[in-house]
Amino acid sequence: DRLFVVDLVTGRAVAVATLTSTQIEGIAFDSTGEFFYGVDNSRHTLLNFSSLGAASSASVTLPFGTYTNIARDPLTGSYYAHVNNDRSLVIIDPATGDVRSVGTSPEAHVESLAFAGDGRLFGIGVAPAGGNLLFEFDVQTAAVLSAIAITSNLANPAFHNSLAIDPVTGTFYTVAAIEGGLYSIDPLSGAATRIGQTEMRNVRSLDFALTQDAASVPEPGTLALLTLGISILVGRSRRKHNRLRR
């Protein structure tokens, strides 16, 4: 697996690190952006990467299950994941690997999770009749609060299995699984707008990471992206002292 940064204006992707694990299904940065967690379903572990390109500095064993992505609640610091075996929403303790079930969402086959800056939890999933749905979940019960079909004006609408939300602007981003385009999504209508080509395929996770910057001017954000070892992208989000890490 390789980690990329994505230009949110052009869709251009740049590889910044090669990870030692090859089966990571999701990444979530900590509050400082200095390290991130990754779920390895092949070994049922949660890996802690303390620096880019390095071997994981620590790992904890997770209960058996297929964990589709991991996302950090910006309000509580808790790490949430979706388990597709029983379609449950869980909270993972990254220090111990303990998993606590929040509840189940039988109607939601989730591919990726992402928190908005206000603590709302969203996910991209597969619609029963095909295509994608954008879900919003209750973080206390796992109940589906809304399920909106993702639409596009393209002749051949793309399939999406990744999601990230800019913590500053609130913009929703996804990368098409097959054709590799970077898209923004309107969370109210589900309309997906193509931004540019990433030259990547089968992107499994997207996440923003924030780091403290001593500069007094706004820094561009970059979108951290994990793929199957094919090339990837970069983008901008304005925020003072904000930089999206790889």
Encode pLDDT of 22-68 as tens digits: 678 788 888 877 788 888 888 888 988 876 655 666 789 998 888 88
Res. 241: pLDDT tops 50: no
Of residues 143 and 215, more confidence is placed in: 143
Q: How far apart are CA 219 and CA 211, in angstroms?
A: 10
Q: How far apart are CA 72 and CA 103, in angstroms?
A: 17
Which pLDDT score is estimated for 43? 85
Contact 21, 37 (CB under 8 A): no
**Sheet of 132-137, strands arranged across:** 109-115, 121-126, 132-137, 144-149
Asked which of 33-42, 152-161, 206-215 is least confident by mean pLDDT, the reply is: 206-215
Q: How far apart are CA 181 and CA 146, in angstroms?
A: 25
Res. 92: pLDDT tops 60: yes
Averaged pLDDT score across all residues of the chain: 79
Which pLDDT score is estimated for 223? 53
List all residues 6 or more positions away from 156 whose beta carbon is below 8 Å from its beta carbon.
Answer: none
Contact 27, 19 (CB under 8 A): no
Res. 176: pLDDT tops 90: no
Q: Which two tokens stand for residue 33?
A: 């952006």
Q: Which two tokens stand for residue 80?
A: 């949430």
Contact 20, 55 (CB under 8 A): yes
Residue range 88-111: mean pLDDT, rounded: 91
Res. 19: pLDDT tops 80: no
Res. 86: pLDDT tops 80: yes
pTM, to two decimals: 0.85
